[in-house]
Structure 1
Amino acid sequence: MVNILLVDDESYVTESLALTIPWQELRIDKVHRAESVDAALELLQQHEIELVVTDIRMPDRDGLELLSELAQHWPGVRSLVLTGHSDFEYAQKAIRLNASDYILKPVDDDQFMTSVSKAVEAIEQEWGKLDKYNRLAYRRQSELELLRDGLLSDMLLGRELGGRELLERLDSYEILLKPERQTRMVYMSTGSSLRGMEESEARLLEYALGNIAVELLGEHDPVWFGRTPHSGLILLWQNGDQPDAENRERLQALTTSAETYLKIQLTLYVSEPFLFPTELATTYRHVLRSAQHPVAASSSRIQWLQQDDGIQERPAMIKYMEPLYKPPTLIHLLESGQWNGTRDKVLSVLDSLESLPLTHEHLYEVYLAVSNALVYMSHHHGHMLGESDAGSLDPFAAQHITGSLDRLRSWCMNVLGRLEVQQNNTTTEPSRSRIVKQVQEIVSESLGQDVSVKSIADRVYLHPVYLSKIYKTETGEGLGDYIIRIRMEKALYMLKHTNRKIYEITAELGYQNPQYFSKLFKKHYGMTPNEFRDS
């Protein structure tokens, strides 16, 4: 319903219209009256008014001045003008001031109702467009939040995107962080503040907390707030060269605001600066370890973490943990449905730890590697973890699991077995999905050989073009792009963790020409292998 304002210095005109017109039929809710421009402006300030009908000729200030005020201060208000035959020039000026129509005096009720009805219809159409726009904007914002959280989860779990792809996704998702910049990770622990709440209420409070965090920390610096794969909350903060004293004040303001306005007892775990995105996944694991470590317990609401917090790795421990992160990774094995290979990798690491003096934190490192891979797979393939398993993937609820090597081994095998059974039961898997799995297994086994689209197509007895179409449809990624991605991920690992020459890595990955390999690597990561190793 629309509210209308009738303006005429001859009060009997507005009084007659107010009493005789069937306003409800015209979808008019309230009728306001004024005898001057000043009185009309006062009513406009006091009430929600969508339509103004004004006389042109009035003493002191005329209707054209009122239209000018409307255009300047109430551009959304529609207007109609009352004018005589001799004032047609005024009517033309009124139209130029955005009046929707003019009505000749003396006023004919039918003409008046027709003009008002058209104006009301136009207003309602604008409302409909605005509502549609708002709904589209809300939907787009919701989709952006899902996309941002998905990208954040991928990167926290170890997915390394090529330089060009990362830049494109950061831009399209409206994330302001810049690659190759020093960044801090702020992990937000709400403790018991949200326990026992309905899911919707907890999510609303988390949303409000994110808004407060972005407002306080993102006023001058790029930030990215989101949910972590383990249902936590983090904020990535590129705070440049701001002094620690100022950083502490802003973080303190965040904890105070959370308690004052949201009644949330917030504890912040703040990492040392790291290089985004190269060191993101490593920093995330470090922050999780440090946050759940008993040493991290403190009355302070802000925990500034040091690089040596958490696990103190000995050379022997690094050696035994290394297979967890060596290609093919757990994520790749699960992604391609290689369940036996996944179990073998996990068991080989756990078995190798039997002879070492272990601490809770060492077992937690294995737990994190396995749980990260499981969460990644569930996000990307629609697998739902069982209620008990999902609960155990909360890193702060995993104390019992990581209490001993036997418990950890039992949990790993149990959750992997459940997921495998669930996957097998959800489908008699469509032939296309089986083909994709087969292709991924071939790529994993044959990186150092002739692993081209054609050679893979020959092994699965399909035409290369048809195979490429199936793979793209099922995964959203081109088969050729997938082969290159897996090779580049292995190259990245070898550059980080071995001293092999570039030409040796080139040959091991099946490339004949080091220059061609270097070109591919630079296209994927934004720098040459030599530049990456020197960085």
Structure 2
Amino acid sequence: MIEILLVDDESYMTESLRMTIPWEQLNVREVYCASSGAEALAILEQKPIDIIVSDIRMPEMDGLTLLQTVSERWPNIRCLLLTGHSDFEYAKRAIKLQVSDYILKPVNDEEFMKSIANAIDSLRDEWAEADQLQQLRYDMKSDRAALKDNLMRDLALGRQWSPRAIESKLKQYDVPLKDGDMAFMMLIRLGKHFAQYDAQSFSLMEYAVGNIAEEIYSSQYRIWLSKAPHDSLVLVAALKEGGGRSADKGQLEPLVTEFHQKVLTYLKGDISTVVTHWFVFPDELSAAYRSALTTVYQHGKSRHPEIIYQEDHTQEQVTIKALESLYKPPTLMHLLESKQWRAANEKVAEVFDALERMSVTREHLYEAFLSMTNAFMYIAHKQGLLIHQINEAGLDPLLDGATLHSSDKLKEWANTMLAKLERELSESDQYTKSHIVKQVHELVMNDTGHEISVKTIADKVYLHPVYLSKIYKLETGESLGDYIIRVRMEKALYLLKSTNKKIYEITSELGYQNPQYFSKMFRKYYGMTPNEYRDQK
């Protein structure tokens, strides 16, 4: 639950907001008030404040000075400013403090609630990201290498994050690359000699190859080596700080040759390596990965040991609208992630309708295959399924080359995969949703009222509050917030009718913060106040 601090030297302003705003609708647990910057800092020392709303003009310590201190000492707190129209230019200075919003006086309740709700949504997004990371840590048993592999897989498959989220993940996983780096990629495939090993031994060989790569390339580059989604190792490298950008093949070629020789010497096996063009990390990583896979298909299907520099195999890039639509938002990945199956089928149909009207090459078909493969793998993994559980060989054209013989074959494959994904994930989803609704009902009915809210329920069922609300509304036709209020009002009716408890006691028992707001909600629900209802018994 959210805790908010209101700061204004005019105490009637903060008390009015505290008493009249329906904080419960915003899932706010506690509202504190302070009449000065010093008092606000004292409260911040003692209470876990999430959002602070401060007036600008205050004696001794003004609002900007207060928020500057808050941003330095409690950087995760969201800050909002109360300002009069005459102070608006002055308030713009707060941009440097990353203030979330400005609220003009006199305060309009709806606008005020909207600003608070936006700040809460921002906090929840941040918490959800942290929760996702924590859950991932738990699932992978805090294995940092596995976390880095997972991040690489998502980036290679086209998952997008905000720059802030990327920066946080790279720092958390000790990846020595930064957002905006110029980088190149090496896609490394183990040769025929390694195919004789069982899965565990093969994994150890990949680990050994990775160690050799890090030993060789880390002298000149900042590198990130990881497992790629399509049976390969991927190394992303950027020049060390101060090294500038160099696309000189001559600088890299001796290192790549040494890498191959050492693998052969120490591990008695060959590898194949594709070296991509330079790209902007991480924005263009997915495109670079698709390009490297295409090169593998064109030149390295047989796993013969070789070194391929894409700059030596430049070819005319033909842009066709059929492939452009794959990358136009909403992408296939986004449609699958939000379970928009009809829209996903329509996008795939649009792509193949265009392909059938145009003269396309096998390379174009392969690019379409890779793009759809990325989306299918991502959504399956996100739901906890291995793609081979859905289609054993459906994602490897090297196992089923007929898939890329024509657009008709590829279309048949894509529609089959979509149908299987929808069936598998929908069946799993339906059981999960029904179980979640049952859990929600048990939590609401068994709760004493003090802590129940959409946020606390979401915490207990391990879902984001927005996603939980969406599931509940789809399954029951009633919003979760309305359900919680309805149950509370039914309890209130029973307590008013069957007990002699005072209104403030019932208010507290139901989890409301003040009797006035409880009476307002009761009147809205039943058309009369609690006292009027009790008087008519």
- What TM-score, normalized to structure 1? 0.53
Q: Specify the SS of the correspondent of 1:400.
A: helix
Q: What amino acid is aligned across from residue 379 of structure 2 in structure 1?
A: M
| Aligned equivalent of 1:367 | 369
Q: Indicate if the aligned counterparts of 1:230 and 1:395 stay in contact, CA closer than 8 A.
A: no
Residues 392-430 of structure 1: per-residue CA shift (max 9 Å, x gap): 323544532111111111111111212222223335433
Q: Specify the SS of the correspondent of 1:233.
A: strand
* CA distance 1:433–1:192, shift in 2 (3 Å): farther
Q: Specify the SS of the correspondent of 2:194.
A: coil
- Aligned residue runs from structure 1 range 208-357, under 5 A: 208-239=208-239, 240=243, 241=245, 244-294=249-299, 301-306=306-311, 309=314, 312-315=316-319, 317=320, 319-357=321-359
Residues 435-473 of structure 1: per-residue CA shift (max 9 Å, x gap): 9xxxxxxxxxxxxxxxxxxxxxxxxxxxx9627964996
Q: What amino acid is aligned across from residue 314 of structure 1 in structure 2?
A: V
Q: Indicate if the aligned counterparts of 2:390 and 2:424 stay in contact, CA closer than 8 A.
A: no
Q: Which ranges of structure 1 fall in alignment gaps of 5 or more residues? A: 1-138, 436-463, 483-535
| Aligned equivalent of 2:410 | 408
CA drift at 1:385: 2.4
* CA distance 1:280–1:195, shift in 2 (3 Å): same
* CA distance 1:178–1:390, shift in 2 (3 Å): farther
| Aligned equivalent of 2:454 | 466
Q: Indicate if the aligned counterparts of 1:432 and 1:474 stay in contact, CA closer than 8 A.
A: no
* CA distance 1:191–1:407, shift in 2 (3 Å): farther
* CA distance 1:286–1:140, shift in 2 (3 Å): closer
CA–CA distance in structure 2, aligned partners of residues 213 and 421 of structure 1: 42
CA–CA distance in structure 2, aligned partners of residues 210 and 418 of structure 1: 35
Q: What amino acid is aligned across from residue 370 of structure 1 in structure 2?
A: M
CA drift at 1:296: 9.2
Work out the percentage of aligned pairs sharing the same amino acid: 29
In the alignment of these two chains, the number of paired residues is: 312
* CA distance 1:274–1:376, shift in 2 (3 Å): same
Q: Which ranges of structure 2 fall in alignment gaps of 5 or more residues? A: 1-138, 438-451, 471-537
CA drift at 1:357: 1.5
CA–CA distance in structure 1, aligned partners of residues 314 and 300 of structure 2: 9
Q: Specify the SS of the correspondent of 2:357.
A: coil
CA drift at 1:390: 4.2
Q: Indicate if the aligned counterparts of 2:455 and 2:465 stay in contact, CA closer than 8 A.
A: no
Q: Indicate if the aligned counterparts of 1:290 and 1:296 stay in contact, CA closer than 8 A.
A: no
Residues 188-213 of structure 1: per-residue CA shift (max 9 Å, x gap): 02232332421001001001111111
CA–CA distance in structure 2, aligned partners of residues 336 and 172 of structure 1: 28
Residues 212-237 of structure 1: per-residue CA shift (max 9 Å, x gap): 11111113421000111223211001
CA–CA distance in structure 1, aligned partners of residues 334 and 435 of structure 2: 15
- What TM-score, normalized to structure 2? 0.53
Q: Specify the SS of the correspondent of 2:387.
A: coil
* CA distance 1:359–1:211, shift in 2 (3 Å): same
* CA distance 1:367–1:194, shift in 2 (3 Å): same
CA drift at 1:148: 0.5
Q: Indicate if the aligned counterparts of 2:436 and 2:461 stay in contact, CA closer than 8 A.
A: no
The alignment's C-alpha RMSD in Å is 3.3
Q: Indicate if the aligned counterparts of 1:468 and 1:478 stay in contact, CA closer than 8 A.
A: no
Q: Indicate if the aligned counterparts of 1:189 and 1:233 stay in contact, CA closer than 8 A.
A: yes
- Aligned residue runs from structure 1 range 110-125, under 5 A: none
Q: What amino acid is aligned across from residue 253 of structure 1 in structure 2?
A: E
| Aligned equivalent of 2:448 | none
CA drift at 1:346: 0.6
Q: Max radius of gyration: which structure?
A: 1
* CA distance 1:338–1:433, shift in 2 (3 Å): farther
| Aligned equivalent of 2:19 | none
Q: Specify the SS of the correspondent of 1:238.
A: strand
Q: Indicate if the aligned counterparts of 2:149 and 2:228 stay in contact, CA closer than 8 A.
A: yes
| Aligned equivalent of 1:523 | none
